Structure 1
Amino acid sequence: MRRLILNADDLGLAAETNEGIERAHREGVLTAASLMTGEAGFEEGVRVARANPGLAVGLHLTLTDGVPTLPAAQLPSLTQRNGRFRDDMAGMGLTLAVSREARAELAAEVAAQMARFAETGLPCDHVNAHKHYHLHPNIAAALIRAAAAAGMRCLRLPWEPGTLVRAIEAEAPGTGEWAIRPWCRFLRRRAARHGLVAPDRVVGLAWSGHFTADRLLGVLPHLPDGVTELYFHPATAGGFSGSAPGYDYPGELAALIDPRVAEALAGTPRGGYAAMLLPNAA
């Protein structure tokens, strides 16, 4: 059977994302969201989660382009002078690969973000990473170990079948599927050994920040059986602190509240990660 997760990243980033995610859930088809623990909108994001118990909320682990949960002074290998995480993902990835100290900082920050989420009292539906940085081997290893130790059961593995996207737009940009698919297969096996499961595929990578209603309506009939995560970045406006240049945040919100989308999804099981991936769990 086909089951869908409609997830929004960046809950807790800013007032605009928090309001957009709440509207996309209350007025539209959004079923899940991923919470950032170090950003300015964190407390308001927690309020949104508590006010909407039907929204499955997980941890959006942030290790680049964001604010750490631990003091930056405790993370010298991972942060800049301004106290934010480093934005040179390739350079920071190399640091993690060669530096034992950096890996220790990574483990401490992952634990801190998980602890801050736990302090909210919210059930943690899933875990994923900002900018899919958990594709890095050291980050993946740290995340999987910490998630399993915390009792989490679900995570995102960001593989998008190019055939699905090209069925709608033949000229859609590639997402490195040739490399990501085998790596995600490896990570899926590794996660399974720790009791973690992931959706079969993710849709929205090629259209990140531009997942319009027409694209969503176009791809829905092509989705195969199994669990598909469709991921979005809804917000009421762009231009806020931490926003991605060029992203059409209101356009993605419009897609999620479009009545045509709700009609197209009628009768299709949809929910959070755990509800779709572990439907028989107690």
Structure 2
Amino acid sequence: MRQLALTADDFGISARVNAAVMQAARDGMLTGTSWMAGAPAADDALTVAHELPQLAIGVHLTLVMGRAVLPPRLVPALVDAEGYFPRSPVRQGVRLAASRAGRDQLRVELRAQIERCLAAGHTPRHLDAHLDFQVHPAVFPIVAALAREYRIAAVRVPRDPLRPALVFDRRHAARKLAEAAIFAVLCRRAVAIARAHGLRIADRVYGHHQTGAVDERYLLEVVRNLPEGVSELYCHPGAAAGDDGELAAIVSPRVRAACDDAGIERRHYDG
């Protein structure tokens, strides 16, 4: 059995991204999307998502490069005076590792992000985080506990196979190698925690090493070499300022035909 979930991240970050996600779900192979609660177009995203009940909505928990949904006075260890998280994942990661108050405030903020999705009439199908920050050692136990509390079946653990990313695209090889080494350690721990909490995870997750460049060629490469089991591929339709290669890949008839020819089932990874 080969199963592939195609997920669009950053739903709600802009009207352009929202439109691209909806087009990818209507006309393409998108099975799910990850919604950012504090993003500028977040409310509009959840409103239009009601038009496509088959689209699996998850919460793209935001801890960096975004705005908190709670006021700064309630989460001062996480945000600046305007309510914005740091742009640097390293800075936020060190802060959370060193500060129990920060972790306590993080739990409250992430709970508020999930509650905002529920209040709009959507039951989250999965949790992940902006920049895959959910696998930070101080963060993942909180995410897993919240998933179990809210009966959210799945979490993303970005175990992205390195070889396909290097064979397909040798650009940024040094970055990909460094990321792979770091995330291998983080993901091993996250897998153990997810399983201990009874959460579903994909066997592998494509797109982390190829972020911003999930075009038709890459998607065809993944589909043609997809192993047995449950896989997720995440992408960012609507993020490009010019030609949107990621949206084009998701709606590509060639990619759909390749999936059909290979007998790949397209469905979300939460069940």
Instruction: Answer whether contact 1:168 1:219 (CA < 8 A) is retained.
Output: no
Structure 2 counterpart of 1:273: 269
1:20-59 equivalences under 5 Å are 20-59=20-59
Task: Give the counterpart of 1:196 among 199, 220, 223.
Answer: 199
Q: Is the 8 A contact 1:16 1:237 kept in 2?
A: no
Amino acid corresponding to residue 273 of structure 1 in structure 2: Y
Which ranges in structure 2 are unaligned for 5 or more consecutive residues? none
Give 2:257's aligned residue: 263
AA of the residue aligned to 1:179:
I
Q: Write out per-residue CA displacement over residues 111-151 of structure 1, whole angstroms, 9 at most, x where no aligned residue.
A: 11111111122121111000011121111111111111111
Q: 1:218-262: CA deviations, max 9, x gaps? A: 221111111111110001753xxxxxxxxx771111111111111
**Aligned equivalents of 1:209 and 1:249: distance in 2?**
12
Q: By how many angstroms is 1:164 displaced? A: 2.1
Task: Provide the residue aligned with 2:12 in structure 1.
Answer: 12
Q: Which amino acid aligns with 1:258?
A: S
In 1: Cα distance, 2:117 partner to 2:48 partner: 14
C-alpha deviation, 1:158, in angstroms: 0.9
Partner of 2:109: 109
Cα gap change, 1:249/1:113 in structure 2, threshold over 3 Å: closer, same or farther?
farther
SS, match of residue 157 in structure 1: coil
How many Å separate the matches in 2 of 1:249 and 1:55? Answer: 24
**Cα distance in 2, alignment partners of residues 43 and 202 from structure 1:** 28
The aligned counterpart of 1:242 is none
Q: Distance in 2 between matches of 1:140 and 1:8?
A: 21
Once the 2 structures are TM-superposed, how far is the Cα of residue 182 of structure 1 from its aligned partner?
3.6
Aligned equivalents of 1:268, 1:74: Cα separation in 2:
46
2-structure distance, mates of 1:171, 1:72: 40
- Contact 2:137/2:186 (CA < 8 Å) preserved in 1? no
Q: Determine if contact 2:68/2:85 at 8 Å carries over to the other structure.
A: yes
Q: Which amino acid aligns with 1:187?
A: A
**Identical-residue share of aligned pairs (%):** 35
- On the 8 A contact 1:236/1:249 being kept in 2, the answer is no
Indicate if the aligned counterparts of 1:235 and 1:249 stay in contact, CA closer than 8 A.
no
Q: Which runs of 5+ in 1 are unaligned?
A: 239-247
1:141-160 aligned within 5 A: 141-160=141-160
Assess, with a 3 A threshold, how the Cα gap between structure 1 residues 171 and 10 changes in structure 2: closer, same or farther: closer
Structure 2 vs 1, CA of residues 172 and 86 (structure 1 numbering), >3 Å: closer, same or farther? closer
Q: Which moved more, 1:100-109 or 1:228-237?
A: 228-237
C-alpha contact 2:31 2:267 (8 A) present in aligned 1:
yes
2:238 to 229, 235, 239: 235
Distance 2:167 2:2 in 1: 18
Report the equivalent of 1:85. 85
Alignment check: 8 A CA contact 2:2 2:265 kept:
yes
Question: Does residue 226 of the first structure (1) align with residue 229 of the second (2)?
Answer: yes
- Which residue of the partner structure matches residue 217 of structure 1? 220
Tell me, yes or no, if the aligned pair for 1:236 and 1:253 is still in contact at 8 Å.
no
Count of residues in Structure 1 that have an aligned counterpart in Structure 2: 266
Give the secondary structure class of the aligned counterpart of 1:137: coil
Q: Would you say the 8 A contact 1:188–1:197 is kept in 2?
A: no
Deviation at 1:87, TM superposition (A): 1.4
Structure 2 letter corresponding to 1:209: G
Q: What SS is found at the alignment partner of 2:46?
A: helix
* Residue aligned with 1:8, SS: strand
TM-superposed deviation, 1:172: 5.7
Equivalent position amino acid for 2:183 in 1: I
Change over 3 Å in CA distance of 1:237–1:177 after alignment to 2: closer
The Cα of 1:51 is off from its aligned counterpart by 0.6
Matches of 2:245 and 2:10 in 1, distance apart?
Answer: 16
Is the partner of 1:51 in helix, strand or coil? coil
The farther-off stretch of 85-94 and 122-131 is: 85-94
